[in-house]
Amino acid sequence: MFKKNGKWERRDGLWLEQQTGPDGELKNPACKNASELIVEYNTQKSQGTFESVGTNDVLSQALSRPEHKGRVCGQSKFVKPSQYFNLSRSSNKDNEVQSMRREIEELKALVRGLCANRDVEPSVDPKNVPTVDQHNSFKASCSAQEKQDGVAEPPTIPVDSQECKLCDAPTYTIYVGG
């Protein structure tokens, strides 16, 4: 927006004003497509179907070229984009969060639809969560069978009592067991 008589004016309106003559006709016929797009985007914006965020405003969309990073088209050379567009640094994060929320809602709707097709009610009720098998270990990646008194049985490892064919020195023994 541009300050005119203490009031901020929109860039696209100023651009249209500059391109039209006193009779209301366009000075340059090559600008006809862009002016029609500006009018169309403004009607979409008033209906809520067009969203202009930051430097991606109606004029940039209609002209099909992004705004230069160091200056604002149609403004004086001392107007910076951060001053004109009121850009916040967190706008990208806000857009990302909003898109993720929309995606989550879409996925929830998809799950509800799939559950409705199977006549199942989606829930996170703790009663419906499968319980952990009581005979499996809770802290290890392997299961250990327990006795009735709660003490685990030691694993049985078969020991071969034959002589070792890899080593000639029988004095070295390896301890096997628990």
Model confidence over 82-102: pLDDT tens digits? 665 555 666 667 778 888 999
**Whether the predicted pLDDT of 137 surpasses 90:** no
pLDDT tier at 12, thresholds 50, 70, 90: confident
Domain of residue 21: give its range: 2-85
Residue 159 in any domain: the answer is no
pLDDT band with cut points at 50, 70 and 90 for residue 105: very high
Structural domain contains residue 73: yes
The SS3 of residue 152 is strand
pLDDT at res. 8? 45
| pLDDT tier, 106 (very low <50, low <70, confident <90, very high otherwise) | very high
SS3 56: strand
Is 144 contained in some domain?
Answer: no
Q: Domain for residue 94, yes or no? A: no
Does the residue 69 lie in any domain? Answer: yes
What is the tally of structural domains in the chain?
A: 1
Q: Which residues contact 164 (CB under 8 A, 6 or more apart)?
A: 170
Q: Is residue 118 in a domain?
A: no
In a domain, 153, yes or no: no
3-state per-residue secondary structure call for 113-136: HHHHHCCCCCCCCHHHCCCCCCCC
Residue 53 lies in a domain: yes
Largest CA distance in the chain: 112
β-strand partners of 7: 4
Q: What is the rounded radius of gyration, in angstroms, for the C-alpha atoms of the chain?
A: 36
